[in-house]
Amino acid sequence: MNLPIWKPFANEWSTFFLFLITIFLLIIISESARSYLHWKPESSRKLVHVIVGILVSICPFIFKSKFPPITLAVIFIIINAVALKNKTFKGIHSTDRVSYGTVYFPFAFLILAIFWWEKPITLVLSILIMTLSDTIAAIIGERTTHPRQFKLWVDVKSIEGCIGMFLSSFMIIYIGTDLFAWLFEAAFFIPLPILIGVSGFVAMLVTLSESNSSRGSDNFSVPIIAALSYDLYLINYTHGHLDSLLIWSVLSGIAFYLAFKYKSLSKNGVIAAYIMGIIIFGAGGLKWVTPIVTFFILSSIISKISKSDNQIHKGSKRDIIQVLANGAIATIISIINFYEPNENLYVIYLAVIAAATADTWASEIGSFSHTDPFHVIKFTRVPKGASGAISFLGTIGSVLGATTIAIVGLIWNVSLPLIYLIVITGSIGSLVDSFIGGSIQANFQCLKCNNITEKRTHCNSSSLHQSGIYFIDNDMVNFLNTVSAIFILIILK
């Protein structure tokens, strides 16, 4: 079967405008039903979510080019963002909680259309999981008389909803893959045990992702995780690496449970790190996962024994934001290499992790210093843990952290000149972190204890913004540190 299978119009942009008009009509109908038929806002929102999701999932069957669907996604990202801000179109935006899901969904579709257009099966199944499974999970959770609720991050979920999410996702992958195999005839064949395996693997990861959400972020994470896990499982199967991936999935699950038990990770941090580890291992095997595991294990040990001010205020447990701040860029690089292999990407990957390690070790090892550090810009002594603070011992820790990750690269046959480059890049990245932290990082004052903090909330209440750029907190600075490593490496190389 060749795609597209049906073209409503000779000009694809005519089909695009038909799509656009259809979706707008659905929004109008939803608003009318909410106003005149007294539908509950949540009911009309779910109906529009399902209908629009099914519509966009058929895009590969009627569009040859990906640019009309991309344009459609961009338009609705803008429209939904404006509607949310102005509190209009309540028929598709109203929920019983603050949610940006209607913006996340078209953004996820945009990513899928850009990068997975040539993989229509992956794209369609991922969108259907977000469209149907997420809705089923929500309905089950709402209609269960006494749901067993829990909260990993911000959104409240239920055990019953998660079971519905898992089972419906399993069936979508199982039936969808089998159906596509039949439609494409001899294009591909998947044995029954592998079909069951990929269905369970994807269902497990999307259920974990859906349960670990904040204000509708699962509308983005679920379809992206579905696409990645589907490809990772099947490509590892075709390359003969599936056993290793499954063994890693089990062993890393045990390891991350222990990390939670010994308070190195919070609940939402465990889920994020587990999914991240599976993606990196599935994308590159031991060679790629070893550096980031080394960073996590050694940094956790040092955090446990250090006396850093960062630990006093935040605790040694890393939450999901800290996990993403330090590991998101590395994960994206591993994904890019998975689809477009390039040995240079491994060096960049090591440099990014070296920068994260250098920054973490600088703070933790620097806490052992007997004197207060200097501010990197003001050149005055400041308390330990202050943003922009550097010390001699912390600098040694920074270089040591970058060197440790570089040595891991040496084990995997990275050349000695590149090893030196990774150490230098990681160390400079840590300094960049200090400069950002000492200049534009936001500082807040707790309204209860009056202490200056890097957190927007302190003592369980909102803090007062004092200085710096509001959205650049410590986690954003850590994220920018890993991004800076890429540019530093390119300049030095």
Q: State the pLDDT at residue 90.
A: 59
| Dihedral, 440, 437, 429, 361 alpha carbons, nearest 10 | -170
Residues 248-276 have a mean pLDDT of: 94
Summarize pLDDT for 117-169 with one digit per residue, the tens: 999 999 999 999 999 999 999 899 888 989 999 999 989 999 999 999 999 99
DSSP letter for 4, please. P
Most confident by average pLDDT, 4-8, 16-20, 215-219, 355-359: 355-359
pLDDT band of 360, cuts 50, 70, 90: very high
Q: Is it the case that residue 186 has pLDDT exceeding 80?
A: no
Locate 479 and state its tokens. 């994220």
Residues 410-422 have a mean pLDDT of: 95
Higher pLDDT, 342 or 102: 342
Locate 207 and state its tokens. 């259920």
Q: State the pLDDT at residue 97.
A: 59
Q: State the pLDDT at residue 356.
A: 96
Q: What share of the chain is helix, strand, coil (3-state, %, to 5)?
A: 70, 5, 25
Q: State the pLDDT at residue 382.
A: 84
Contact 243, 217 (CB under 8 A): no
Residues 346-358 have a mean pLDDT of: 97
The pTM of this model reads 0.92
Residues 19-32 have a mean pLDDT of: 81
Rounded Cα distance between 83 and 432, Å, is 38
Q: State the pLDDT at residue 39.
A: 64
Instruction: Please give the backbone phi and psi of residue 441, each rounded to the nearest 5 degrees, phi first.
Output: -65, 140
Q: Rounded mean pLDDT of the chain? A: 89
Nearest alpha carbon to residue 477 among 443, 426, 430, 433: 433
The CA radius of gyration of the chain, in Å to the nearest whole number, is 24
pLDDT band of 308, cuts 50, 70, 90: low
Category of 87 on φ-ψ map: left (φ > 0), alpha (ψ -120 to 50) or beta: left
Q: State the pLDDT at residue 114.
A: 96
pLDDT band of 185, cuts 50, 70, 90: low
Instruction: Please give the backbone phi and psi of residue 31, each rounded to the nearest 5 degrees, phi first.
Output: -65, -40
Summarize pLDDT for 465-485 with one digit per residue, the tens: 888 888 888 899 999 999 999
Q: Is it the case that residue 324 has pLDDT exceeding 90?
A: yes
Summarize pLDDT for 4-21 with one digit per residue, the tens: 888 888 899 999 999 899
Instruction: Please give the backbone phi and psi of residue 375, each rounded to the nearest 5 degrees, phi first.
Output: -75, 130
Q: State the pLDDT at residue 313.
A: 45
Q: State the pLDDT at residue 41.
A: 63
Residues 95-122 have a mean pLDDT of: 88
DSSP letter for 457, please. E
Contact 103, 84 (CB under 8 A): yes
Residues 441-468 have a mean pLDDT of: 79
Rounded Cα distance between 119 and 227, Å, is 9
Q: State the pLDDT at residue 405.
A: 97
Q: State the pLDDT at residue 80.
A: 87
Q: State the pLDDT at residue 177.
A: 93
Rounded Cα distance between 13 and 65, Å, is 10
Q: State the pLDDT at residue 166.
A: 98
Q: State the pLDDT at residue 468.
A: 86
Q: Is it the case that residue 34 has pLDDT exceeding 70?
A: no
Three-state DSSP class for residue 381: strand
Name the helix (H) or strand (E) containing 77: helix 67-86
Which of 13-17, 54-58, 97-101, 316-320 shows the lowest per-residue confidence on average (mean pLDDT)? Answer: 97-101
Most confident by average pLDDT, 12-21, 349-358, 442-451: 349-358
Residues 289-298 have a mean pLDDT of: 96
Q: State the pLDDT at residue 461.
A: 76
Facing residues of 445 across strands? 452, 464
pLDDT band of 96, cuts 50, 70, 90: low
Q: Is it the case that residue 311 has pLDDT exceeding 50?
A: no
Summarize pLDDT for 52-74 with one digit per residue, the tens: 899 999 999 999 999 999 999 99
Locate 361 and state its tokens. 């070790």
Nearest alpha carbon to residue 476 among 342, 343, 331, 359: 359
Locate 375 and state its tokens. 């501010």
pLDDT band of 442, cuts 50, 70, 90: confident
Contact 67, 6 (CB under 8 A): no
- Looking only at the bridges linking them, the beta strands covering 443-446 and 452-453 are antiparallel
pLDDT band of 437, cuts 50, 70, 90: confident
Residues 175-182 have a mean pLDDT of: 89
Higher pLDDT, 264 or 174: 174
DSSP letter for 2, please. P
Three-state DSSP class for residue 118: coil
